[in-house]
Structure 1
């Protein structure tokens, strides 16, 4: 009996250990709540901080998306425009806010350029992508009374009058600045850049004749082009843009531009990088449903946006690839003095 009892105890303990070791591999019930289900969020209205002015390209995409997403969230998203510093004022504002998911950055591609241009020491690596909406094609536009009917005429005039032609920009790191840097590097033409607070005011400056040209997204200037207020004279693309199929591609005049294409602005919604993942999930799901709403898909189609709908790791990979490719292009173009490796972008 003395020998049997210890043996029984050993067998009992071994059975208990085996049972304990196997239990973590059991699958939870399919209806078990996720962290997002258990998170009490949102409990108040959200702030959506747009990097650019009212009526600009970014603003025009964010407001209709927010109006649909707020129905999914059950609270209002109060959209505010905080302009300045090529979007850095809004970016810094959101970064300085609490990481509680109540302050959203509604932005474009510009933060991916900030460290290259020493604007501020922030990029989208300091934020969590809630939702990357899409990207688009851009082109060179002039006013209705402009004497320039082609990109070669514009460049030839710039060569004849170095620095006299003016381009309406949104500051260093903005879309017009970036593309104009490419034009200078490839053609040798130089321009005087005149900064405005948004795409919309930059286009107005060209319409009124304050500036000779600007760089405009298809979604922003298509209607003005159709109305005759602005004229696209060249598209920065490898393939024809369906809505502007009559406009020549820049590679037809300057084949060497192909090295920098395809390239274009993108749009997304972000929160600080240390925001609770459960909150990020709730936001991503809400904006994903808003993105897929037929009325918003119509907005994207109307503005000629290439839909992407990225979240999580695919969104992060897109952001990183865009930054690396742009840094390489700007360095080759001479628009930045430090190489991507020196900037830690690789």
Structure 2
């Protein structure tokens, strides 16, 4: 018996030492980065811009893979199904914060640990250059005169396009024909070709196209004019009551599954914090119209909770959620 206990004690000690060394050596292999939207969109652009600077601090590669679909639910579920060891990162946008009320998933960011909320964007309404309207007021008048004729790009319930449309329809009824796309990248391409007529996007994803004259902006979904889009009126000039929702916009962040060891979290937080402070990244984000946040810990969690509250109740009040936010103890803002 004594020999058996001695052997068990030795094995336990070896396991503890090995485990300690493993955590201390983290990361000792490449890390997976799962991007929840497709190539060419705003989430993809932000993640592929910031990650090389984090790799310098981590000393390993982050192998990024796009896993789009289900308004971000496919990527979120995949990461949640992996080990909580810090080797699988969710590189996401705002969408999971509405997944529960939309019935898309039982998982949202409250089931994850925010490594870094990197940046946030400002939504805009963009139109095909040949569209017979140049302002939001002209757009509304045209839609009313041609019900069901205007085609708008949609990235699914819970995506930016659906939230912005819900905000607008809290003030004015818009009879549009939705055309589904798997991310804002493909939708913006369709807008340029004339397959669709109008869509909501974020400045960062559409700015190059706007500056090259491939599409036009008819409104900024904010309470103030944006410096990158001089002369374009904010939506509150037309609908002042929308100021209660604003500022609102997509955000981009890095997450890991709850249960990930603190040592791994600390190293990831430090690496992505340094990456978000890189001057080249900050300049790129400013040029593309994104506001750097670089939040982690309690401040990131508070931001996520407020965002979930505002967005979940918007979709519920608009009538396209499957469940009430109250079912998940999400307070009304």
TM-score (norm 2): 0.90
Distance in 1 (alpha carbons) for counterparts of 2:108 and 2:43: 18
Number of the residue aligned with 1:270: 255
Q: Which moved more, 1:308-317 or 1:292-301?
A: 292-301
- Counterpart check, 1:207 vs 2:192: yes
1:82 to 44, 67, 82: 67
Distance in 2 (alpha carbons) for counterparts of 1:143 and 1:159: 18
CA drift of 1:87 comes to 1.2
1:250 to 223, 235, 241: 235
C-alpha contact 1:167 1:192 (8 A) present in aligned 2: yes
Counterpart of 2:326 in 1: which secondary structure? coil
- Counterpart check, 1:226 vs 2:211: yes
Distance in 1 (alpha carbons) for counterparts of 2:126 and 2:100: 29
Number of the residue aligned with 1:101: 86
What is the correspondence of 1:154-233 to structure 2 with a 5 Å cutoff? 154-233=139-218
CA drift of 1:257 comes to 2.0
Distance in 2 (alpha carbons) for counterparts of 1:229 and 1:170: 21
C-alpha contact 2:98 2:158 (8 A) present in aligned 1: yes
C-alpha contact 1:36 1:281 (8 A) present in aligned 2: no
Gaps of 5+ in 2: 1-19
Distance in 2 (alpha carbons) for counterparts of 1:211 and 1:276: 47
2:288 to 298, 303, 324: 303
Number of the residue aligned with 1:14: none
Deviation track 1:67-104 (CA, whole Å, cap 9, x = no partner) reads 11111111000111011111111111111111111110
CA drift of 1:190 comes to 2.2
Distance in 2 (alpha carbons) for counterparts of 1:302 and 1:261: 22
Counterpart of 1:222 in 2: which secondary structure? helix
Q: Which moved more, 1:70-79 or 1:151-160?
A: 151-160
**Residues 154 and 343 of structure 1, relative CA distance in 2, 3 Å threshold:** farther
C-alpha contact 1:186 1:333 (8 A) present in aligned 2: no
Aligned length: 312
**Residues 36 and 239 of structure 1, relative CA distance in 2, 3 Å threshold:** farther
Number of the residue aligned with 1:322: 307
Counterpart of 2:171 in 1: which secondary structure? helix
Gaps of 5+ in 1: 1-34
